[in-house]
Structure 1
Amino acid sequence: MSWTQLHPNDESMMKKGYGGMLSLEFEGTDYLFIVGGVGTTPAVNHPQFQYSRIKDGRVSTNEQLLYNLSNGQFTVPSVSGQCCPPNSEFTINKVNQNKGIMFGGLVINDDGLPTVTNNVYIFNVTHNIIHWESIKKGSISGERLWTKERYDHASAIINGDSTSPALVVIGGRDNNNQVVTKCLLFDNITTGHFSCKKIPLPEFVTGRYFHSLTAVTMSPHCVWLVIVGGYKKLEWIDVGVGEDTNRLIMIIELVYIEAGEWIVQSVLDGNDLTSKKYQEKSLQRNPPPPPSTDPTTPSSSSNVVHESTSVSSTGGASPSATVDVNKVKKVIEDVLVSHYAALNSLPKKSLTGLVNQLYTAKLISNEVREAPSMEECIDEFKSSLSFKRKLPKVEEHCQKFLNSFIAVRGSYADAAEALGEDWIEALQNELGLDFNISIDD
């Protein structure tokens, strides 16, 4: 690897940091696109951009530059559309050759103070013109998850076979400088039919900021998200920090399933990266062979977990059938989402009792127990569910969840009965599966 220092051809260019840069290609030429940031007062204010004075004397800007990698020249482009405001500490990612996406960051309010945002912008470059589009909140399905503003986060674009590019956002800080632990996936970002969903991951993976994130395509249906370093609260996640050393590098294995969505298959930490487990995972991620026409030959694909199961004589799948555990978990989550409103309407006075039951059953973390909410309890349940690979483990997990509600009694027990009945009915109707759980109090 060799490095070359680039010298601006115009000394009046603004000196700044905390901006964004990515490579783009248009008209057969490769460019670096540079946008935003905070710095000293510029010698020249370009009329197409904005320069906002911060109370500490620095200047935040949405200034944009193109660097031609062929001739080494910087140019100041024109802009059109709904350009982003002055911004810093955001993420910017390349979607395709001449298109990118910006998420979050710090904008400057009327009092000259940085304010965290959750804005999303799509931009594309043609003929030295940057065209911007602001993605309105009402145009994204599932945006209830998108309410938390963040900065100092990390993001990456993932691509799969026959799938639209998707943006994954991990970590960051909110307006109160608290770590944001929800991992979001923005799908269909090139089709105009945006959607947003949460990817359930443990907090020790997502609870960080100032970290790096990249996506590595392992196969047409598998992507590894590689996270490196960052801050966790006020401590560096870095070599030499004792128990955190193994979490310096994390790998999240995402697979694209037949239901048309990305799910978490596994999470590897520093210990795993030197183990046979990592080597086996790496070797497995070759494109799967064509499916066998012999019904007695099992699939060799490692992207979907199958499990043989026997069922009672009351109906359901035949004893020789296989169950796609990922599909089972998808049905369970869909039913749970349909119960969100009912679960969140349960009396708050009994929430502490539920939390204690869930904690005793090892279904929630101590952090959730100390600051309980129904939403966090459900999120913890879904996060743990994503790591269950065998049907009995899925059934056991759901049973513990229901038992915790039943133990509280009253309306909580009624809610558990309704949820359990819907799980059983949905899995029977959609997958022909007799789900082995009990809803008797």
Structure 2
Amino acid sequence: MSAAGKRQAPGHPPPEGNRFQRSKKEPVPKYGHATATVNDKVYMWGGWRKGFPEVHSSQEKTSLLSMMDVFDLKKGEWSEVETYGSPPLGVRGYSCATIGTRIYYYGGYCGHDWCRHSSLHYFETTTHTWTNVPIANPYQSPMKKSSSGMVAFRDEAEDYLFVFGGVGMLCSANQSEAIYIPWKENPDNGWTNESHIFSLQSKEWITPEVRGERPPPCAGFTLTQITQNSALLYGGVDSTSGQCLSDAYIVELSKASIHWYKVQIMQDKPKPAKRHDHTAVCISGPLFGQIKPMVLIAGGRDSRWKNLGDLWILDCSIGMWTKLEVSQPVAFRHLHSLSIFSIADYCVYAVMYGGIEEWIPNASASDQAMLSDTTVLEICLNSDDHWEMSAVLASQILRETEEYKGRLIQRLFHILKHGKEDQHKVVSDGQEVMRLCSELEQAQVRAQEAESKAQSLQQEVHQLQSQPLPPSSHSPLLGRTGGKTPPAKATPPQTPKSGTPPLTRATPPTAKKSTSLFSRSPALTPKSKPTPAPAEAAATVGLTEPLPPLIDTSLDIRAQQIAIELTSDALKLHLVPQKDIATNGPSIDTGCYGDTAPGLYKRSLPVSVKTLKIRRGRNDAYSNVILNHKLVKSFQLRHPNIVQLLHASVQQEGLGDEREIVLVSEPLTITLQQQLTKKALAKQDIINLSLDVSMALSYLHNHPHYPIVHGSVSTSGIILEPLALKWRAKLVDFFTANYFYYASTETPLVIDPPYIPPSPPSLSSPSASSIPVLNTKFDIFCFGIVLLETVTRKQPPVEAAGRESLLGSVKWSSLAGVIRSCTSVLDADRPPADTLLNDLHKL
């Protein structure tokens, strides 16, 4: 039986035994197609191929369109999968956009005569099923067309599709304010600059209010999403002159109106040639957790219909083009496809397939010189802030060797092992490798010296810890347990090692200024640093989370200075002047650490802005170590369930005893606490959000270097990001909770008074009343309280008996068991994050 004969009716799931049938098969030569990235795969559908039936519909055509080509980034190979339901009939020149695991397709050229479509379908990548989206108001649909642009955006927690321009059948036009220009060869068809918005919730087409400088009617352009609510339009063919365009426009999108801005291109810089039928992808910007949106354009053809093989990058924030230097014209084609994978910050893999090598004027559509080669390009920002490109895969490598897999795995493991600092160093040749090796050796020598110093200091701390503890009014345990410490026998002080300053409390004289990036007070020299008494130091040892060796709470201020120097270098890419950050709305969250409000970075890009007031202590040097370290760790965190910190502005000098820190993160929407005040969550939503938060905690607690404790998990610290059919939960405030916990110090060793992050009373771990420790089990306890508050929509009582009474009202027994284990009095009885994640999967 043919593939078409086994096809299921639209909306029906495929038979269980036939799901996800695939075969390793390279795609056929084609053009006029598009690709979309979902997770680590590229999905390619449609396109014109030799021998394709030039009919409106047939069994053969449906059979061909029911197959989807999938490129697996990890394997570096294509496979062909069978799909279910009824696929679209617009085989080429269609528009597509991705929302979650769904790929939406609009319009397209049918393949015969002048026939085009205005239907909207989506392909569900998890079930390989096609669905024809029903239209509530079909009379408001865009004209039947191809070569238009479509992007997805969000407004007020709902998903929308924006469709612009293209060429098609003028008899289906319906917007009075749009421009429609007939085609000379066939006046019933023509170009347009109409704009439509489709609501995926109401299933209605919306005619938005258009403001600003609207682009002219055109086709063959690219429309590329650059932020959650904006897109870049570039190039195309002018409808009146037939000449290619080089203008770039940015459109800001909302459900009721759109606003066009023409990008002011730097005239004193090189610019790409005018073109159409090219491809474009966004390679950095807010969609990737960065600030400046960068768009890559590849290939296309000029006004004489000759192919262009160059690649250019547009910095949308300043209107500057940068040409990518390539050893060979890998993009010498048009009507091809291009999709990207974000491998790391400022490093993407671009997958290019198919297209036309050169248009043959008098040949039919099936007789054009089609391409079938797969090219994967690695595009990264190097240490000099220049974009570089190298081809890491060509079709001959794919067919003949396993080199691609090795190169990709090597790249991925290099990034995972060395972290963000090395992502900006692209190894391109032998000299670069030698230079990096030399730098690495020098860094290792400095690190070994600092490590040796830290180890010797740690040994001294252990010696102090082994001494009996006399009573001390500074002991963190006094006053919390209500007990008194019996007097201990006097013990002779330990003789410090050679080269280590004696433990004294000398008054620091005037010294040179610290090398800290954030320093205000003079640095303390080894001879003059204030140090605690042995009893005070020993009383506090072990009561805080261990810091990494280079930034441990040490007795030697030089070790602290080394730590500051090492961590400050990693912050340079993220520190921005405070004048570039501005709030543009009321506070969306007033927490115990500071206020969070919506804002703009450089007056254009939407962000969230959190302002912290930092109280200066008597030991600013140690505070700087913690500040640098916690900021570096915050910038390095990369997880879909953790709000991405983008930039920071640190006030160098402040008035009085305070200075200001401004944190810039991705835009925030609504907190879990705010959502609970509106309405209760469904069971599946509770499970999904719980899994999201537990995955974030598992990521933090299983950090490869040492466990990272969040320290302030609460319903007000969980952000809900609306997706197509559900919420995505994200943890926020990692930096603030950790920094204030460790920086609330009066000397390098003593935390006096002991500090517990301020939070609602019900979020205080039982163990926190006796031992002021911030550990991973504290996070688990807080998570249990969050679950209890989520399912009951009530603030859990402080007392254990009150919490147990509230927990008794929960009828969901399996979830109640998870909450009870998380809120156990003893840390040892609470499950680790990985076990918790497994328990939640069983709900």
TM-score class normalised by the smaller sequence: 0.5 to 0.7
> What is the distance in 2 between the residues matched to 1:149 and 1:272?
33
> What is the distance in 2 between the residues matched to 1:104 and 1:256?
25
Which of 165, 171, 180 is the aligned partner of 1:36? 165
| Displacement over 4 Å in runs of 4+ | 160-163, 299-302, 305-309, 319-323
The aligned counterpart of 2:131 is 4
Which of 272, 276, 282 is the aligned partner of 2:397? 272
Q: Secondary structure at the match of 2:330?
A: helix
Q: Secondary structure at the match of 1:231?
A: coil
Q: What is the Cα-based RMSD across aligned positions, in Å?
A: 3.4
Distance of aligned partners of 1:29 and 1:288 in 2 relative to their CA distance in 1, 3 Å threshold:
same
Letter in 2 for 1:174: D
How far residue 211 of structure 1 moved from its aligned partner, in angstroms, is 0.1
The correspondence of residues 361-400 of structure 1 with structure 2, limited to 5 A, is none
Structure with the bigger RCO (C-alpha within 8 Å, sep 6+) is 1
Distance of aligned partners of 1:174 and 1:23 in 2 relative to their CA distance in 1, 3 Å threshold:
same
Q: Secondary structure at the match of 1:289?
A: helix
How far residue 42 of structure 1 moved from its aligned partner, in angstroms, is 3.5
> What is the distance in 1 between the residues matched to 2:164 and 2:283?
22
How far residue 12 of structure 1 moved from its aligned partner, in angstroms, is 5.7
Deviations 1:238-267 (A, max 9, x none): xxx9x997x611011112212112201334
The aligned counterpart of 1:337 is none
How far residue 304 of structure 1 moved from its aligned partner, in angstroms, is 3.1
2:271 maps to 1:145: yes
How far residue 322 of structure 1 moved from its aligned partner, in angstroms, is 8.2
> What is the distance in 2 between the residues matched to 1:50 and 1:281?
50
Which of 252, 263, 282 is the aligned partner of 2:408? 282
Letter in 2 for 1:126: S
Deviations 1:281-318 (A, max 9, x none): 22122434348xxxxxxx89983357579x9xxxxx9x
Which of 165, 180, 183 is the aligned partner of 2:308? 180
Distance of aligned partners of 1:210 and 1:305 in 2 relative to their CA distance in 1, 3 Å threshold:
closer
Which of 383, 388, 408 is the aligned partner of 1:258? 383
Which of 195, 201, 208 is the aligned partner of 1:64? 195
Which of 243, 248, 256 is the aligned partner of 2:373? 248
The correspondence of residues 92-107 of structure 1 with structure 2, limited to 5 A, is 92-107=223-238
> What is the distance in 2 between the residues matched to 1:251 and 1:306?
19
The correspondence of residues 17-166 of structure 1 with structure 2, limited to 5 A, is 17-56=146-185, 57=187, 58-109=189-240, 113-137=241-265, 139=266, 142=269, 144-146=270-272, 148-159=273-284, 162=290, 164-166=292-294
> What is the distance in 2 between the residues matched to 1:51 and 1:273?
46
> What is the distance in 2 between the residues matched to 1:227 and 1:300?
23
Gapped runs of 5+ residues in structure 1?
236-240, 292-298, 312-316, 324-441
Conserved? CA contact 2:160–2:255, under 8 Å: no
Distance of aligned partners of 1:149 and 1:136 in 2 relative to their CA distance in 1, 3 Å threshold:
same
How far residue 222 of structure 1 moved from its aligned partner, in angstroms, is 2.1
Gapped runs of 5+ residues in structure 2?
1-127, 361-366, 442-843
Q: Secondary structure at the match of 2:323?
A: strand
Which of 352, 365, 374 is the aligned partner of 1:227? 352
How far residue 79 of structure 1 moved from its aligned partner, in angstroms, is 0.5
2:321 maps to 1:196: yes
Which of 203, 206, 220 is the aligned partner of 2:331? 206
Conserved? CA contact 1:154–1:170, under 8 Å: yes
> What is the distance in 2 between the residues matched to 1:170 and 1:308?
29
Deviations 1:320-364 (A, max 9, x none): 6789xxxxxxxxxxxxxxxxxxxxxxxxxxxxxxxxxxxxxxxxx
Letter in 2 for 1:79: V
Letter in 1 for 2:133: L
Deviations 1:169-223 (A, max 9, x none): 1111111111112211112x1xx31210111225541110000001111122421
> What is the distance in 1 between the residues matched to 2:303 and 2:423?
47
> What is the distance in 2 between the residues matched to 1:283 and 1:214?
19
How far residue 133 of structure 1 moved from its aligned partner, in angstroms, is 0.5
How far residue 122 of structure 1 moved from its aligned partner, in angstroms, is 0.3
Alignment TM-score, normalising by the size of structure 2:
0.33
> What is the distance in 1 between the residues matched to 2:299 and 2:431?
38
The aligned counterpart of 1:215 is 340
Aligned-residue identity in percent? 24
Q: Secondary structure at the match of 2:306?
A: coil
Conserved? CA contact 1:93–1:101, under 8 Å: yes
Which of 165, 171, 176 is the aligned partner of 2:299? 171
Letter in 2 for 1:89: G
Q: Secondary structure at the match of 1:102?
A: strand
> What is the distance in 2 between the residues matched to 1:300 and 1:74?
43
More strand by share: 1
> What is the distance in 2 between the residues matched to 1:107 and 1:45?
21
How far residue 224 of structure 1 moved from its aligned partner, in angstroms, is 0.7
> What is the distance in 2 between the residues matched to 1:102 and 1:266?
27
Distance of aligned partners of 1:114 and 1:45 in 2 relative to their CA distance in 1, 3 Å threshold:
farther
Conserved? CA contact 2:349–2:376, under 8 Å: yes
Conserved? CA contact 1:99–1:125, under 8 Å: yes
Q: How many pairs are equivalent?
A: 296
Q: Secondary structure at the match of 1:63?
A: strand
